[in-house]
Structure formats: structure tokens, C-alpha cells
Structure 1
């Protein structure tokens, strides 16, 4: 899982894109209200706990020049000095809490609860609430309510190599402990919001019903090779981006829910080359198909964009 321990103070990161990203996030929340946020009944208390801690404690203490406690005629507020707007400390509902977090924190949050148990009695965590403005080629709303195993079903090697260790780790993570990991992929466009198109795998339902701009292929199709070649021709290397996620996980003290969060970064390939990291990224692309789960190269569509991206990075 490549996890690292980290202090709780580092759960959220800020950078000089914050103002622009808030505008992007608000636009996505407004344009895709059902896709970007959802809260099942079982997760309402956890969402409100997470919100209260974020706006009353974490944000004003960690970033005091950006988020400042204040008071208005309508009650206590948190003032966002970048957007020059007030955030209610007491949200009208869990969904309103998710919407506010979605706009004012450049991080996506997913709430997980032990909604079922394994035959041995150990807890199985399910995704029960979320606000995700920047999904990386998956539909979060289609996964809400499902256990980790079902959510990760399309990921090659998950069931055989990660499922049991993930379940054990999620069950044992203590309050006050936080961990992080990094994930990366190459996308063939610059869209931060993407419900589909970044992965290729066999899906029993062929296609999630809400997904837009999907490039998922059926691995059992007799025309698979021709379909891959067609998609290769469609790749415009100047449109490709290195997409990275900074992922964190911690547990809430009252509801004991787990909060999985991720912040998304996207870089033009020209930026990677300019920093002198072109050959390193090209080697990492080769490594996708050389690890203990070679199928990951297909899953991440490396068979489509890999050659063009590597040629560019090494040119």
C-alpha cells in the first residue's frame, strides 16, 4: 500500500492555485450536484463531526491567515479571506456541510464506515458519504454504499494482493493516527473532473450508467486490438497530463468513521521535462507492466498512451 505516517496537521495542503481551484470546484459542484456529493443516512453524524472539526478547529488553527473565526447576525462563522466569503459553523444539513467543504477546501473527502462484517467477525468498511470534485476516471456515486472490495473490483491484483491487508489496516487505524500515500497516472486530457475514460477493464455491466466521455474497453471483445490501436491514434501528446493524487486517511474520534481524502495535481508533460524528470517518468511508465501486477499497465490505459508519452518525454 506504500503508506507513510504523518502528523494530523498535514492532512490538508495549500498552494498558490487555491483561489482558482475554489472557482473550479464551485463550478463542478453546481454542474454535477448528484455526482459530486452524497450522504447515506448512516453517515450523517460522521459528516457533521468531520465538518465541525474542520471549520471549528483544523482550518482556523492550521491556516489562520486564510480561515478566521468571526461572528455575524446569523451566528458564528468562519471567514475565508481568499474568497472573501463567510462559512457557516452550523450547516443546515450533512449535504450542505459536504457542499461547503467541497468549495472551500481543495481536497476531496470520502467517509467510510464499518457497515458490514466478514465471516470471521471483522469489520468491512463501506463508502457512505463523499464530496469529490476531481474523480480520476470513476463514478463516486456508483460506488457509494459499497464495500472496499466492490469499489476496487476493477483494479488488477486487488483481491489477491491487497484486499485482506487493506481490511485489516482500516480496522486497526487508531484515532490520532494519520497516513498518506501518493498515486499517479497519465490522462489524455486536462479535465480535473472525470467520471470515466482513464481506465480500461472488463465490466460486467459494460459501462457505469452515468459515466461521460468513457474510453473503457471490454477486454473480452474480439475487436480489442483494433480498438486499442484506434485509441492510440487519438492520443494527442500535448493534451496529456501527469495526474497525481496525495491521499490521506484518518479516523474521527466520536463516530469512529474513517476519512479518506485526496488532493489532485495535474502537470503538463512539458513541465515534467523542464524539471528534468522526463526520463524518470518514462521509466515509471515502463515499470507499470513490469511489477507484480503487469495488468495494471492495461488498467491505466498505458497500452494506449504509453508509446507516445515516452517518446515525447525522452525526445
Structure 2
């Protein structure tokens, strides 16, 4: 466009400004406000999406860029193959890379829906906190773990699935929200319970546990050692030889979020020591109790361990808080025949268990991810005979009563017959 044409186009506006100079002020003000709004929007877009919050007390997390959760198959655990035909009760702990703490696969979204439904129908079974309002260390531990997972681990490990956003409130305070893109962009607060009293912290901790149920596909338990008593004033030094120290102190369950318990009601375990939690497990007191107490006491922050276990269940879903997984001599259950097996609901049930210590609160976090595989899949893989031998091995290891504890007298012969057919 030529200069004379531009001048002709602007002439009416120039005339209007000459007639009323305030128009020029309004135009300049509008342009200035528009420029300021655009610049702030651009700055907000750059700063609102973060990679992850710093967590210097935790190990660094290795990201999985371009990770596609929807096309990732669940891990195929086959722990019965490592038993050499006999089931020996051992800790069998292995190192766990911190970055591999939480797995993600194509069952994630549907299982979160299951977990949320269970939280609605069984809230006091799925989530629990032990103690009174004065027990602030439990609430602090829950909030510490929650903020690490939502603020650091998830957006750092799976940046294409979880995104962190910084948002300013009306009072100019900044909060961080985690966007879960696998769930249609659900937003979750990264921190809960800031600047609250003891009662508020307890409420916030329960909310954090409920949020964990809805965000991560992991059952999690928080344990603390027994409180140290003040030594009596006797004028003498404590006997170092008789002092159990951290390596011998008992650890107690203080809080949990567990939608998929395997044959136990977690609410009934609150406040119990490890020995009480595992009291129904045959051989625990003789084979594992002292070693577990010692391991928990000596576990250092930054050290992550894992183990796996297995059983076979019939007609029991992921939520098995009220039975159907474990058995006893006086249960009176009838032995199943092979033609009575429901192949859809008869599964190999495995847990990938992890344990680590939180750096600030010093709580020990025990967690597990549950996998189920139809026994028809095991047979199709050509592992039917191996699993059948492992079932026989339940009564041939160092704790023969494990065969009864896992209800093998009910399903064992029928499952073996199917696997070998």
C-alpha cells in the first residue's frame, strides 16, 4: 500500500483525535494494557509448565521420554521359576534402581478407576492412619512421600504422561498442580497440609492418602520404629551390650493406602509391629522376624530394595481384604475339581514389593504393585509343568505349612491337573 493511501486511511482517525485529544490517551492506554497482557501470558506459558520440583534429599530420577503407557504391556513376573521346585521362605531382597520405583503400563487408567471405586465403597478399609492428632510424624511422612511422587518422581520419570504446572492464587501464592494426561488431564495438588496444626496435618495426610489411591497404582504402607523411652535417671550410663539400637527396634504400621490387599484387612493391621502384621504367616517368627527388624532398622535413605512373591487365587479379585487368599486347617473348604475351575478368575497373583526410607521423616515405605495372570496364559507359555511343580514345592520347602496358608489344599490338585492337561 502506497504512503498516500495509508495517509488517506488514517485521516478520519487523526481528525477524531484532533477533535477530542482524550481519544489518543484511550488508544495509547489500550495498546499498553494489551501489550502487558500478551507479555504476561507468554511468560506464564513459559513458566507454568515445569519439568519437576527439586528433591535433593532423594536420588535423581532418570526420565523415560516419549514413554507410551497405553502401548506398554504389564511386566510378566514368574517368580515361581526361581524356586527350583521348593518354596523356601526368605527375604530374597534385590537392589532396585530408584528410577524404577513405580511402573506404568496399559492397565493404569482402568485400574485407577477400580481404585477410586473401592475408595468410595470401602473408605476405612482402603485408607487408614493410626494414632491421635499429636502424632505429627506420621502425617509428615505421608505428605513427604506424596509431594515427592507428585512433584518430582512422576513428572520426572514420565514427562509425557505427567506435567507439572505452577498456578498463582488470588492471594498471589503459587501452588503446583500435577496434570495426569493418562486420565484426561486430571489435576492434583502437589502439596497438602502446608502451615497446618496437628489436627490439620492429620486431615491433610488422609487427603494425601486418598489422592495416592487415585493417582498411582501402588499399595503403600508407612512404618516407624517404636518410640524411644527416656532413660531412668540412675546416675549410670546405659548398658551398650543390652541396648538393641536402631537395628533391633520394632517397626509399627502407622498409615497406609491399600485398595488391592491380598487376603488381609489393612485396617486391622494399623498399629501392629511387623511381627503382628505377619503373625498369620507360617514360619515368619522363626525364619524372618529378626532379619526383617534388623533390615528395617539399618535401611538408609537412598537405598531401594525389591522382591516378588506369588500365589494362585480362585474367584478373588484385586480387592481381597476379606478372605479368599489364605487358608487354615479348620476352614472347612471343599477341594475343587478340575471341571469346577473358572479359568477366567483362577490366576497367578504376584506382587512386586519395594521398600525404602524417606530422607526427612525417616519413615520406612513398603509398597507393592499387584499383577494377575490367568493360569491359561501360564499354560499357553509352556510353563504349566513348572508351575505345577512349584505348587507341589509349597509343602517341600523350609515351611511346609505354606501349602495350607496359600489354600493349595483347595485349588492345588485341580490347577495342577489343568496345567498338565
TM-score by length of 1: 0.88
Whole-Å Cα distance in 1 between the matches of residues 276 and 340 of structure 2? 31
TM-score by length of 2: 0.67
Alignment match of 2:391 (pick from 278, 285, 292): 285
Which runs of no fewer than 5 residues in structure 2 stay unpaired?
Answer: 1-90, 170-174, 194-203, 229-241
Q: Could you say which residue in structure 2 is the equivalent of 1:34? A: 124
Q: Could you say which residue in structure 2 is the equivalent of 1:295? A: 401
In the alignment of these two chains, the number of paired residues is 292
Greater displacement, 81-90 / 34-43: 34-43
The CA deviation at 1:190 is 4.3
Distance 1:235 1:186, change over 3 A: farther
Alignment match of 1:180 (pick from 306, 318, 322): 306
Greater displacement, 233-242 / 35-44: 233-242
Query: Larger radius of gyration, structure 1 or 2?
Result: 2
Q: Matched residue of 1:2: which SS? A: coil
Which runs of no fewer than 5 residues in structure 1 stay unpaired?
Answer: 202-218
The CA deviation at 1:301 is 0.4
The CA deviation at 1:164 is 0.4
Alignment match of 2:324 (pick from 191, 197, 210): 197
Whether contact under 8 Å (1:186, 1:240) holds in the other structure is: yes
Whole-Å Cα distance in 2 between the matches of residues 160 and 25 of structure 1? 35
The CA deviation at 1:153 is 0.7
Q: Matched residue of 1:82: which SS? A: helix
The CA deviation at 1:56 is 1.1
The CA deviation at 1:171 is 0.6
Q: Could you say which residue in structure 2 is the equivalent of 1:100? A: 211
Whole-Å Cα distance in 1 between the matches of residues 142 and 190 of structure 2? 13
The CA deviation at 1:155 is 0.5
Whole-Å Cα distance in 1 between the matches of residues 119 and 360 of structure 2? 28
Q: Could you say which residue in structure 1 is the equivalent of 2:45? A: none
Q: Matched residue of 2:291: which SS? A: helix
Q: Could you say which residue in structure 2 is the equivalent of 1:5? A: 95
Distance 1:8 1:245, change over 3 A: same
The CA deviation at 1:71 is 3.1
Aligned CA RMSD, in angstroms, stands at 1.8
Whole-Å Cα distance in 2 between the matches of residues 292 and 144 of structure 1? 29
